[in-house]
Amino acid sequence: MPSEKIREMIAVYPEKGKLPCAVAHYIAASLNLDPIEVGRVATKTGTKIYQCQLGLFGYGRKGKSEYKITSRKVNVDQEVLDLIKAQVTDGRISCARLWEIADSQGIMRNEAGNAADSLGIKVTPCQLGAF
């Protein structure tokens, strides 16, 4: 059963009760599952997802400026900004779409997150269901 295997893989991560976004995605890829399945099991087991690959959360204490790593100055080409803007619906863009843009344009995912943040665009939904 996939959820049991996900639980096992989460349990071997050294930081109990926490799982980085990248590790959650690794688990999903290893099991050939949609990342939301890992996110659901993480939620059920009380495991907190942290270190969002877009830089949106999980980098310190919640409520402190270092909690997220967006809002930092990054320089991305206007073409990237235009691609992001073109994918916005109701002021939002999905995490998956930002990943696609970052990967296709050869920029880091946190740079795409910063670019969206600088444009005032809300990122949702998260592939893991974290937001």
In tens, the pLDDT along 39-53 reads 999 999 999 999 999
Q: What share of the chain is helix, strand, coil (3-state, %, to 5)?
A: 50, 10, 45
Rounded to 5°, angle at Cα 67 from 97 and 34: 35
pTM tops 0.85? yes
Residue 101 has pLDDT above 80, yes or no: yes
Give the model confidence (pLDDT) of 51-99 as tens digits: 999 998 888 777 766 667 766 667 889 999 999 999 999 999 999 999 9
Model pLDDT, residue 73: 65
